[in-house]
Amino acid sequence: MRHLFLKIFLWFWATVILTGISLVLAWVLQPASVPSRWHAGFEDTARYFGTAAAGAFEQSGASAASEYIHRLSEDAHIHACLFDDAGHPLAGEYCPEFEVMTAHIVSGKPSDSDMRRGLARMAVPIKGSNGRAYIYASELLAGPRALGGEHSGMAPLRVVVALLVSGAICYFLTLYLTTPILRLRSAAQQIAAGELSVRAEPSMELRRDELGDLVRDFNRMADKTEHLISSQRQLLYDVSHELRSPLARMNVALDLLRGRVRDDPALDRLETDLQRLNQMIGRLLTVAKLEAASTLQTPVRVDLSELISSVVSDADFEAQERGSRVDIVQAANPAVLGDPNLLRSAVENVLRNAIRFTQTGTAVEVALRTDGVTSENEVILSIRDHGPGVPEQELSNIFKPFYRVADTRSYDPGGVGLGLAITERIVRLHGGRIQAINDPNGGLRVEMIFPRAFWTAE
């Protein structure tokens, strides 16, 4: 019941069924007696058909009267019977059904009527052309049996047909309403995945209803979003690129100044800030390029086990200078399809971040495994530190450029806040996903999940 299609379909169909049930109940629950405003009309109708039946009886006998009543039954789907003035049946069908009403007429009642199973029944005394007295009893056109006809066994079949027809109508109506919504959802998912050029189908814009308005508004929104994001990416790239020239001139000026001043703590500080600024601009250019790329240009098969061993070896040397180490605690041997340089950069960014925050004397744990994933076509690279962790509400934000966590972890003397942002974009470019989790035993664990290439290096 969570799907919109199923909800609309069932509600439409339930409405049709309940409407039909209400109509049937309205017929069945009619009062036992004929309403007074209908009585005169029913009595006149019964006298008209009764006079015709009596005329046929007097002219051609009981067979002619029975033939008349039979044709009346076939044409109007009503039962009738002609009695003499003593209540004995002369012609007709289903005469025993009217015996009680006929008895009332014999006893002197001017007419008799009732409602039975939603049907109006009427018995009246009539006079033939030769003055002979008769009693005519008949069902009138009312209630479900008027729809069912003579064969009551046809009623269930007609109910089934009505349900099938109503179900088909509700199905196609629901399909008509939900199809553009599902297509619009698919387009929104593709845009959310980074395919900003995706639009809803042009044929959907031709609809002249609220859904057509929604599709047109969606496409206009997508155009505006693509333009804004593209402009932002281009601005980021242009600014970062333009900063390179004055930064290079500042480095030259710093070298010239050192030749004149020699050792000076202020120049050391300036050199550190220039190096950090140069690093930040380089990473900004990397972010801009990764954002602009939708697919890898020349992907190759990469042996993750070999790549991680190489990166861990370099990172362990850096960790030892900080009084910690990097250990591979679990190693599988899968391969992925991608760019080895980008993958190396992604792993190095996370490892350096973990080394920076892990406590002295602890190990950064690296695990490459194929178990514990949602699909057998995936591989997990997990990197865990033994640091202070990150507040739960901040876990999804640490992959944003320049985002800083408002706690002790936010003090980062060696970073510029772009490493994890670059890693997230590299992982996404390789068709994977990344997540940060606070380990139950302490520290932060970053998991990069990649699709496997089902190839293992020898």
Task: State the catalytic residues.
Answer: 241
Contact 89, 95 (CB under 8 A): yes
Reduced DSSP (H G I as helix, E B as strand, rest coil) percent helix, strand, coil of the chain, to 5: 55, 15, 30
d(CA 349, CA 355): 10
Distance of CA 36 to the CA centre of its chain: 55
Q: What is the CA radius of gyration of the chain?
A: 44
Residue 283 CA from chain centroid, whole number: 39
Q: What is the DSSP string of 183-214?
A: HHHHHHHHHHTT-TT----HHHHT--SHHHHH
Residues facing 112 on adjacent strands: 123
Q: Are 420 and 347 in contact (CB under 8 A)?
A: no
Chain centre to alpha carbon of residue 59: 74
Contact 387, 371 (CB under 8 A): no
Contact 404, 417 (CB under 8 A): yes
